[in-house]
């Protein structure tokens, strides 16, 4: 089998890259070890930056997002049992969309298949070879048979546990990592959201986040110890703890409760691989970097990566120009480290440290009050949250 770009992984990064390349006449094949149903059902992030939403629209896959998603003009910070709204348009002229990654994947799969794209589900990549030559190849198993996909370039969009990063030879890359001593207990509930915009709540009991998936489905998170077993949390205990962390003084706001349909714990880590290229192998998305979800950057970073990579591969395909390919890693990493810092900042600002003391908590409150009281500080948060321009 032959193609110009072999893409490993049918998550949003791999699918969007394949879609963007198709629009420019560059052929690709996507190899995905899971089946289509799994890819379209796995729950992930739901905040889409302004620039990423614009890119989806410009490429022709934003129609359902605009029809069924939610345009949000701000977020609410809750701390010291008070509410403080961050007004995105007033501060930045931008907003964000709330549209689940699951739905973006569905839209991209449907579009690629409608355009005749080659998406190979239940095809497990076992090896990436020849990345230092002009003819790299991906060995994979599909329908019980061993296959070889020959190509000009390989894009590993196969996540943190994929084979892409592992295919880089020893000493070719350096990794930076921070593991946090807490995680998020996330739930999906069949109940209308209790808020119009996302609520980020800091309290002595720990962090909580209120988000939504639709007008009838809510998505909520609780800070918990990293080794938490979600089976030890009853539905009633979860709702009671959420209510306590979202509590406001002098307010009649109330957390709506409903049947919990999904419950899982997400670990929290920061991770970066440098460089994001070796020879003709390129890393994108979670294959190259992980951010804690507090800053809502994981999905957005992945789509920024492949937008850069698509431009670079298009320049190579159309003009034989490899300069953008040569600059890809350095260019992508500038945004990655900015997002890593913002996500770390949001995480340490809002979460309760297990080893923290009263002094640490007072510092957090002082910083939160500074954000709420000073326009410059509020603007910095809003600019990073809605998404910085491409660099």
Catalytic positions, written as ranges: 72, 200, 293, 297, 385
> What angle is formed at CA 11 by the lines to CA 104 and CA 217, rounded to 5 degrees?
45
Q: How far apart are CA 154 and CA 146, in angstroms?
A: 18
Tokens of 187: 């739930």
Tokens representing 80? 């010291």
Q: Which among 95, 105, 96 has a CA at the least distance from the CA of 44? A: 105
The edge-to-edge listing of strands for the beta sheet with 260-274 is 82-87, 74-79, 199-201, 208-212, 218-225, 174-189, 260-274, 289-290
Determine the Cα–Cα distance for residues 106 and 103; give it in Å rounded to an integer.
5
SS (H, E, C) 123-185: EEEEEEECCCCCCCEEEEEECCEEEEEECCEEEECCCCCCHHHHCCCCCCCEEEEEEEEEEEE
CB 227 within 8 A of CB 202: no
Eight-class DSSP state of 388: P
Reference 12, options 85, 65, 70; nearest CA is 65
Interatomic CA distance for residues 242 and 375, integer angstroms: 29
Q: Using DSSP bridges, classify how beta strands 137-142 and 145-150 pair: parallel, antiparallel or unpaired.
A: antiparallel
Task: Calculate the alpha carbon distances from 183 to 77, 142, 191, 245, 356 in Å.
Answer: 20, 36, 24, 16, 16
């Amino acid at each position: 089998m032959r193609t110009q770009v072999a893409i490993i992984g049918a998550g949003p990064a791999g699918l969007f890259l394949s879609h963007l390349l198709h629009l420019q006449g560059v052929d690709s094949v996507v190899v995905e070890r899971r089946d289509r149903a799994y890819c379209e059902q796995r729950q992930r992030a739901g905040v889409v930056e302004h620039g990423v939403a614009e890119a989806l629209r410009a490429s022709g896959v934003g129609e359902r997002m605009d029809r069924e998603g939610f345009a949000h003009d701000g977020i609410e910070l809750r701390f010291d049992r008070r509410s403080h709204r961050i007004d995105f348009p007033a501060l930045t002229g931008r907003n964000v969309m709330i549209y689940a990654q699951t739905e973006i994947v569905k839209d991209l799969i449907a579009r690629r298949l409608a355009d005749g794209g080659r998406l190979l589900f239940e095809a497990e990549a076992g090896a990436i070879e020849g990345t230092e030559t002009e003819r790299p190849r991906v060995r994979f198993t599909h329908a019980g048979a061993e296959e070889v996909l020959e190509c000009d370039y390989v894009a590993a969009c196969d996540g943190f546990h994929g084979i892409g990063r592992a295919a880089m030879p020893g000493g070719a890359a350096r990794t930076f990592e921070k593991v946090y001593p807490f995680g998020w207990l996330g739930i999906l509930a069949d109940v209308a959201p209790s808020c119009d915009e996302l609520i980020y709540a800091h309290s002595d009991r720990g962090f909580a986040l209120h988000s939504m998936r639709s007008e009838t489905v809510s998505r909520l998170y609780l800070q918990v110890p990293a080794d938490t077993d979600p089976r030890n949390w009853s539905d009633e205990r979860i709702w009671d703890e959420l209510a306590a962390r979202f509590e406001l003084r002098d307010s009649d706001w109330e957390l709506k409760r409903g049947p919990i349909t999904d419950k899982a714990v997400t670990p929290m880590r920061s991770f970066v691989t440098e460089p994001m290229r070796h020879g003709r192998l390129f890393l994108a998305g979670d294959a190259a970097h992980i951010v804690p979800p507090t800053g809502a950057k994981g999905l957005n970073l992945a789509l920024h990566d492949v937008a850069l990579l698509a431009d670079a591969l298009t320049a190579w395909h159309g003009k034989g120009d490899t300069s953008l390919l040569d600059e890809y890693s350095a260019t992508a990493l500038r945004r990655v480290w900015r997002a890593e810092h913002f996500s770390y900042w949001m995480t340490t600002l809002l979460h309760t440290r297990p080893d923290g003391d009263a002094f640490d908590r007072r510092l957090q409150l002082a910083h939160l009050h500074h954000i709420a009281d000073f326009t410059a500080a509020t603007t910095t948060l809003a600019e990073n949250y809605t998404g910085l321009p491409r660099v």
